[in-house]
Structure 1
Amino acid sequence: MLEGGDHMLVLAGDIGGTSTRLAYFSTEGENLTLLVDERYPSRKAGSLKEIVSHFTGKHRLTAETACFGIAGPARSGTVRTPNLPWSVNAEELAQALGIPKVQLINDMEAHLYGIDLLGPENFEVLNRGVPNPNGAIALVSAGTGLGEAIAYRDGTARRPCPGEGGHADFAPRNEIETELLLYLRDKYGRVSNERVLSGPGLHNIYLFLRDVRHLPESPEVAEELLVNDPPAVITKAALAGRCPLCGQVLDLFVSLYGAEAGNAALRYLATGGIYLGGGIAPKIIERLKGPGFMLAFTSKGRMSPLLETIPVMVILNEQSALLGAGRCAARRKEKES
């Protein structure tokens, strides 16, 4: 164990399909002090090792331990990323860093470790509910992909459980969602929740409403889609009110997000709260605060009264997973000491 006053240097990473964030933290117990951090475009690198080597070579600090939260299932020290052509190996990273051991954890697990380090100013409350301090919490995180996981109370602290719930089957609730399912099934075969609740999912919904429901397309937006990131184009146009089609895309997306968050609350009996992570929710916060999200969240038949009591919050701090990876690294190093 670390003695009082001792500091430890840890390397932490939050690795997603769009961005890779790396940071050095100085840690003392549960307290993390950020020393330096950088963000890299994931798709421009051939591997995580390449990015880590650039970061460590630039800053020339020597960490005692490292932990990386990666979008994908961590199995036997290896992660094959579903949204990147990478295979990440803990032993290879440890050798490159010159340290005995590197921890690879699921990115949702890292987010859950980080939630307890965030203050009230890092959350936007969508539903105050009646939080149970001893209840489980669930994370539903839409970004490049869709992540879902839970943390439970063991009597003293929250214990995150990694998950890949975003890859569970998409279940439509009504006629339009059934048409969406059939459209995506023709395109992909199997349809997971990630096919609709993610950045690419926004584009899928747009194409469906345009090509199947025949909603008129804005020529200006159509041109922008050819040269810029489609999810960003669609979201900005919807929020600016300059594209009715984009507005309906976002409305359907918000309703689907609310429904799936409600499903997670039921699956895990998350009476401690539902947290929305990822890069999309903070950008569409005003739409999430409208009636569509919570109506879909609570529309669960006989379970609706239960859902109305469950707190729902948006995580505003984009470094929550990075903080969580740093916290995980420090905790596991202390256990080994």
Structure 2
Amino acid sequence: MANGNSFSGHLDFLIFAADIGGTNTRLSILNFDTKFTILNKEEFATSEWTDLSTLINSYLSKKDLQAENIYAGCLSLAGPIRGDSCLLTNSKQIIDFNTLKNSLSFQFPLLFVNDLEGMGRGISLLASDDLLPLIHSSADPFLSTSFNPSLTHSAGLSSSSPSENHGHKALIAPGTGLGEAMITENGEVYTSEGGHGDFAPRTEKEVDLWHFLNAKYGHVSYERVLSGEGIENIYEFLSLNVRDKSISGGNLPAPEITKKALEGVCPLCVETLKLFVSILGAEAGNLALRTLARGGVYLGGGIPKKIIPFLKEDSIKESFLAKGRMKEFLGQIPIFVILNENAPLLGAAQIALDTYLGQFK
């Protein structure tokens, strides 16, 4: 896979990259000269715009951006791409690619990819301090003392650099929605709609949560639990059994639940995030098994980096490893939190650059 250091030469490339998420839209201009540098980035609430071409034209028209020197661009979109369009899953907007390209004031090759493809391609461009290792050793206290050498693989378990972790990688990204993807050892990204797969409860409490959500939605996917909306759903469910009237029940927005949990001022909020993290660990383990992610599991999206104290607790490790006979295998798989919010932009820029350079081969 090409990465930020893969092209030798001294040409300066301006690349337009956009990360169109369910909550936020980020537009950026990057320079490439052996590696990417973000020259400019602006963020908008996705709910605040109705026409993406107008937003992009307004951004690119700023004189200091020198948009006339852009060689290529790529949009990373939070939704399934079907043919020449994409339905943004959580905003319900439809992006027609041909209409958008024809409406732009500046013309350059423009690509469209799923947001998990952008994030997945961006992982190899991250530095070690862009990642927080959560599990990085087979000598984990939750593992049995026995060890099967036949399971050993050069996964770089003590490393926090994605380029040093060999084998397939798994990406799970809870944010406005829940994205899941597989990254092959050679860097290809296979996106999915795995977040819409059936939620599999493991405990009596989770079974009760499933019944609560099934009555509310009719179908209970992992996204109904592992997302911003999921945090709100868990809180609402737990509040049904609260007897202490001094504790706010009912509905609270996810940012407020998270804030109060991190401050330790709301026991119900703390319990909400603990259950969220436990379920996240379980589904991360499921994804690791499905993809044989010896190269590591990467937690992306907007939520993980905001709840680091809860991710550092034992719960996520316990639920990740609780896969019966596969416990030993999973114990050799590192887990990282992606701290750099620019990973999707870097990945989109890399896709644009690779495509542009590919025409000269």
Please report the TM-score for the alignment, with normalisation by the length of structure 2.
Answer: 0.86
Letter in 2 for 1:181: W
1:191 maps to: 220
What is the alpha-carbon root mean square deviation over aligned residues? Answer: 2.0
Write the distance in 2 (CA, Å) between the matches of 1:135 and 1:215.
49
2:205 maps to: 176
1:95 maps to: 102
Q: Does structure 2 conserve the Cα–Cα contact (< 8 Å) formed by 1:69 and 1:104?
A: yes
1:150 maps to: 182
2:145 maps to: none
1:159 maps to: 188
2:341 maps to: 318
1:114 maps to: 122
Q: Does structure 1 conserve the Cα–Cα contact (< 8 Å) formed by 2:22 and 2:78?
A: yes
Letter in 2 for 1:76: G
Write the distance in 2 (CA, Å) between the matches of 1:82 and 1:104.
15
Q: Does structure 1 conserve the Cα–Cα contact (< 8 Å) formed by 2:28 and 2:38?
A: yes
Q: Compared with structure 1, are the counterparts of its residues 223 and 168 closer, same or farther at alpha carbon in structure 2 (3 Å cutoff)?
A: closer
Q: Which ranges of structure 1 fall in alignment gaps of 5 or more residues? A: none
Identity over aligned residues, as a percent?
40
**1:38 and 2:42 correspond:** yes
Write the distance in 2 (CA, Å) between the matches of 1:333 and 1:203.
43
Alignment map for 1:2-151 (pairs within 5 Å): 4-28=9-33, 31-58=35-62, 59=65, 61-62=67-68, 63-97=70-104, 98-99=106-107, 101-129=109-137, 131=155, 133-151=165-183
Aligned residues: 327
Match of 2:280 among 240, 257, 261: 257
* Mean CA deviation greater in 90-99 or 43-52: 90-99
Q: Compared with structure 1, are the counterparts of its residues 4 and 276 closer, same or farther at alpha carbon in structure 2 (3 Å cutoff)?
A: same
* Mean CA deviation greater in 186-195 or 42-51: 42-51
For each residue in 1:16-52, what CA deviation from the matched residue of structure 2 results, as whole angstroms up to 9, or x when unmatched?
11100110112245x2121211111100111322321
Match of 2:303 among 280, 286, 297: 280
* 2:352 match: secondary structure: helix
Write the distance in 1 (CA, Å) between the matches of 2:242 and 2:210.
16
Letter in 1 for 2:173: S
Q: Compared with structure 1, are the counterparts of its residues 199 and 218 closer, same or farther at alpha carbon in structure 2 (3 Å cutoff)?
A: farther
Write the distance in 1 (CA, Å) between the matches of 2:182 and 2:93.
26
Please report the TM-score for the alignment, with normalisation by the length of structure 1.
Answer: 0.92
Write the distance in 2 (CA, Å) between the matches of 1:217 and 1:144.
30
Q: Which ranges of structure 2 fall in alignment gaps of 5 or more residues? A: 1-6, 139-154, 157-164
Alpha-carbon offset, residue 215 of structure 1: 5.3
Alpha-carbon offset, residue 216 of structure 1: 3.7
Q: Compared with structure 1, are the counterparts of its residues 328 and 217 closer, same or farther at alpha carbon in structure 2 (3 Å cutoff)?
A: farther
Q: Compared with structure 1, are the counterparts of its residues 21 and 44 closer, same or farther at alpha carbon in structure 2 (3 Å cutoff)?
A: same
Letter in 2 for 1:55: Y
Q: Compared with structure 1, are the counterparts of its residues 3 and 151 closer, same or farther at alpha carbon in structure 2 (3 Å cutoff)?
A: closer
* 1:118 match: secondary structure: coil
Alpha-carbon offset, residue 223 of structure 1: 10
Alpha-carbon offset, residue 236 of structure 1: 1.0
* 2:67 match: secondary structure: coil
* 1:313 match: secondary structure: strand
Q: Does structure 2 conserve the Cα–Cα contact (< 8 Å) formed by 1:40 and 1:51?
A: no
